[in-house]
Chains A and B, each alone.
Chain A
């Protein structure tokens, strides 16, 4: 390795410096070669773009919906759960005052996500978990712990059928943020 006969110290100093640089650069390259794909795959879920949901038909005919009384519609949505295709039962509440303008509320209480029901007076929604109450007309909180009014979903009426675009929102916070 070292030159026999040469001064053991003087040539060794620049050479050792070179070896240190090679080692440092090499180690960095090694780290990058493996680290980039490994970290990329690890953080991949955090960078995933939100999926565009399609419109779900919740009522065949607007004429069949009662005026002034909300009605619950349950439907099954296929969800891509990574490599498993799972089906989730989803509830939305439809409400109309005049048969022209429709409102759709997500069926989950904004407090902790329980499913709520129509109160006996049919003027408000009542959540059985912590006695949250919401107005049927506006979705506003009337009583109890919910931090915000009900989550309204986008509604579309085409050929007398009602479609909604289902979304999930963060629970327990005053702002409406998509989950």
Chain B
């Protein structure tokens, strides 16, 4: 029955021929596990397609609803949080795998004759993947998304001459807002997938048509010195045919390896997704200018590099470096025409790759080391929310610290006339926010001999007192996990004595 169906189809469209061309084709001998990186990238891309389709069913690309729709996905949809976690981790995996695959091709000199076109397509894929990452980062519309995109679009804005135009083009207007989100969403789910699928199809079609590059040794013996030499194509054809003749068929020898690697990669993504999820900060707050944005980790080397260049240099590096990088990658197979492929014969290639890898590593290290300084407040032992940060700023502006001490801050100057004010290092453990708010408003209601002046209106607004309260409740001493025990007593009447 099945055989009959197959014969019926085969008579019309020759599927046996397709099977011979695709599955039974011979691969050159000596393919390593490193050769599975390309197919692993393709596997993760397919994971992104299927998870992305279902994610889009629960997403609303509008600042009013984007954040809520993601909350809903995580809370109310079966395996919604896992799904989002997979998509998030797979996004990182895409970047890692594309870069690793690219390095494999670079190290083995596989971008040389006759695969220059496929190298260029691959460089295109790298930048499409980075485009996915940049546009996808904004979609949750939380603080991280909003502020990282502010920075990202502002970097593009430092381009000479056309900068302001590019910013408006990226944001769909001069401000980051509703039009930006819709635009990024359209790019993320319509434009970039179409682009990526097209280039991937060409990329894979060329791999099938040209075959995988053989081991470097095969093409390094008795080779004409340059790939532009007239006898090189003939030399290549002969050598490649020999290596293929001694090789193995694609199915099942190579495919089984690809699948094993695919399972390991995807299983890792699922474990990461279930263990840590995708994370969601508080909703985007465009008025909170004290938020310190962090880019996705693979942008950290670039992010850190920009900090090393002051002023006008920064703009030059911000736009210049990526441009130089793109050009260098695109032109690589056209200026490197020496035929030798093994790294042993390519000192310049080896050196430049080591410099880039070591430099990126150092920059990531530096960025990670700096992270706590910018994000975690010493006295609270954790990053503060926007209200808590405003409270901290008010605390300083009202000079509360000239009487009250908080460990981790400058101690108050000891003056004889200074009143003996309580230490606030662990105040969050002793008092509830309601008590702190009422006390700051009017200390005399609580202790008729209090030396602390009242901070209630008109000195500070209730909003401002509440912000200081939030900051104070974050102060829980050295161990922020300790549970507070309040024993607050409130004065019996709302009126002040003597009033």
Contact = CB atoms under 8 A, between A and B. Distances in A.
A101 to B, nearest CB: 39
B72 interface: yes
Nearest to A2: B248
A41 B80 contact: yes
Contacts of A44: 76-80
A129 to B, nearest CB: 33
A20 B266 contact: no
Interface in A21-41: 22-23, 26-27, 29-30, 33-34, 36-38, 40-41
A37 B259 contact: no
Nearest to A15: B253
Contact of A19 (B57, B76, B252, B266): B252
A34 B85 CA distance: 12
Contact of A1 (B30, B65, B263): B30
A22 B51 contact: no
B154 interface: no
Contacts of B270: 33-34, 37
Interface string A133-166: 0000000000000000000000000000000000
A41 B82 CA distance: 9
B50 interface: yes
A97 B50 CA distance: 60
Given A41-B83, A44-B80, A26 B260 contact: yes
B54 A42 contact: yes
Interface string B70-98: 01110011111011001000000000000
Contacts of B314: none
A43 B54 CA distance: 10
Given A37-B82, A82-B72, A22 B259 contact: yes
A22 B254 CA distance: 11
Majority SS at the chain B contact face: helix
A33 B50 CA distance: 12
Nearest to A23: B256
B71 A83 contact: yes
A82 B60 CA distance: 11
A34 B86 contact: yes
A177 interface: no
A43 B76 CA distance: 12
B263 A26 contact: yes
Chain B interface bracket (under 10, 10 to 19, 20 to 34, 35 or more): 35 or more
Contacts of B57: 41-42
B170 to A, nearest CB: 27
Interface residues of A, number: 25
A86 to B, nearest CB: 12
A41 B252 contact: no
Given A36-B79, A37-B79, A83 B68 contact: yes
B259 A26 contact: yes
A33 B266 contact: yes
B357 interface: no
A47 B76 CA distance: 11
A1 B79 contact: no
B255 interface: yes
B29 A1 contact: yes
B260 A33 contact: no
A19 B253 contact: yes
A139 to B, nearest CB: 35
B331 interface: no
B157 interface: no
Given A26-B256, A83-B65, A84-B65, A38 B83 contact: yes
Contacts of B71: 83
Interface in A75-111: 82-84
B43 interface: yes
A38 B50 contact: yes
A45 to B, nearest CB: 8
B141 to A, nearest CB: 12
A16 B253 contact: yes
Contacts of A2: 29, 248
Contacts of B68: 83-84
A10 B367 CA distance: 57
A27 B73 CA distance: 28
A41 B263 contact: no
B47 interface: yes
B109 interface: no
Contacts of A26: 256, 259-260, 262-263
Contact of A40 (B78, B260, B262): B78
Contact of A23 (B69, B78, B259): B259
Contact of A29 (B78, B251, B263): B263
Closest 10 CB pairs of A and B: A26-B259, A83-B72, A40-B79, A19-B252, A19-B256, A44-B78, A37-B79, A83-B68, A83-B69, A40-B78
25 contacts: A1-B29, A16-B252, A19-B252, A19-B253, A22-B260, A26-B256, A27-B259, A29-B263, A29-B267, A34-B50, A34-B51, A37-B51, A37-B79, A38-B50, A41-B54, A41-B79, A41-B83, A42-B54, A44-B79, A44-B80, A47-B78, A82-B69, A83-B60, A83-B68, A83-B71
Given A19-B255, A37-B86, A38-B51, 17 more contacts: A22-B252, A22-B256, A22-B260, A26-B260, A26-B263, A29-B267, A30-B266, A33-B263, A34-B51, A34-B86, A40-B83, A41-B80, A41-B83, A43-B78, A47-B78, A82-B72, A83-B68
